[in-house]
Structure 1
Amino acid sequence: MPRLMSMVVRFLVLGLLAVSGNAQALPDQVLRDHQAARTARAEGRILPMREIERRVLPQMRGAQYLGFDYDPDRGIYTLKFLRDGAVIWVDVDARTGQVTGRSR
């Protein structure tokens, strides 16, 4: 289910960007970020996303997990959740698995 939600969120974002004329920039950046994450994981520089999810999801009881993004420049995974109509972002250090920030 989390992958489906992630795909839905990305589809909606892409649709909004298409309307605004910026649709090509996001897919290229998303592909680069995902490739950077795969490379960093293969080289052992960051934890697998499944390990990050295993650590963070139990802390977010009552929230729906929407998916994640990876910022290779900062080495941060951002996990997105929905609770009571509000989006919550949780930043996690990809190397250590420690939560570094949280909105709301």
Structure 2
Amino acid sequence: MNITIPQLQAYLAQHYQGDQDEQGFFMKLVEEVGEVAEVLNQRAGRKVQDKADLDLELVTELADILHYTVAIAAVNGLDLNRIILEKDKRAAVKYQHEMDLETFLKAQRKS
């Protein structure tokens, strides 16, 4: 099953209904970023590996980062999907990319 950013945002808005603790969500986000750093350090051999499956640990922590990032947008009623597309379009122009995300998505739908 695939999910979209708007679907996740709607789910989290409902899930956290009435919980406007954006600072708490941000603190959880920072904690999860630290956990990704720890896994990456283990993968690079800079830290003793204490996890059996670093790929699973990494993807789990990345999912947590997405969760709290989208939750912050959701509880504030921000359209993360629109902003991602707009920001990517500006970056594509700034960095002279051959294709922006919106163009990529349209091409994917056609194929």
Alignment TM-score, normalising by the size of structure 1: 0.33
Which structure has greater helix proportion?
2
Which structure has greater strand proportion?
1
